[in-house]
Amino acid sequence: MRKPIEIRQAHFPGRAPIDSYGNGGFRFAEMSHRGSLLMLPSGIYGWDMAEGDPLTAENFQRVIDEAAAIEVLLVGTGKDIRPLPAALKALFKEHAISSDPMSTGAAVRTYNIMLAEERAVAAAFIAV
């Protein structure tokens, strides 16, 4: 009998630019991660999201938990841009977070620039 694969909660305790993305994952801080990512002030987290999954408040709870340290949230929605649902945009606005959906590639590039400028930026990247 095969042993089931153990999925651990991925977390990198720091901020780092994305070196590359594609093939279903990302490279940063001399590591690679398969799957989607949340880039938050408290660190980088694996995010259980795939292209086409619903964008719900529940999926962004960790962002809301850190809202006091976030001014801008970049949402990389996959290969193509996908608008954020009105209720989700309203939730971010309620917490003084400006949200900006774009393709994951554009979000990665924008995040790296804003991070280098030491802005209060966070990002949610759906892997492509």
CATH number, domain at 83? 3.40.1230.10
Is residue 10 scored above 80 in pLDDT?
no
Question: In this structure, is residue 96 part of a structural domain?
Answer: yes
Percent of the chain with pLDDT over 70: 92
Q: Return d(Cα 61, Cα 50) in angstroms, integer.
A: 17
Mean pLDDT of 114-119: 96
Question: In this structure, is residue 5 part of a structural domain?
Answer: no
Question: In this structure, is residue 102 part of a structural domain?
Answer: yes
Range of the domain at 112: 12-125
Can you give the pLDDT at residue 9? 65
Question: In this structure, is residue 1 part of a structural domain?
Answer: no
Q: What is the mean pLDDT of the chain?
A: 93
Q: Work out how many domains the chain is built from and give that number.
A: 1
Is residue 90 scored above 60 in pLDDT?
yes
Question: In this structure, is residue 2 part of a structural domain?
Answer: no
Mean pLDDT of 44-64: 96
Can you give the pLDDT at residue 12? 85
108 in Cβ contact with 18 (< 8 Å) = yes
Question: In this structure, is residue 38 part of a structural domain?
Answer: yes
Question: In this structure, is residue 63 part of a structural domain?
Answer: yes
User: b/e map of 114-124 (b: 16 or more CB within 10 Å)?
Assistant: bbeeeeebbbb
Can you give the pLDDT at residue 14? 86
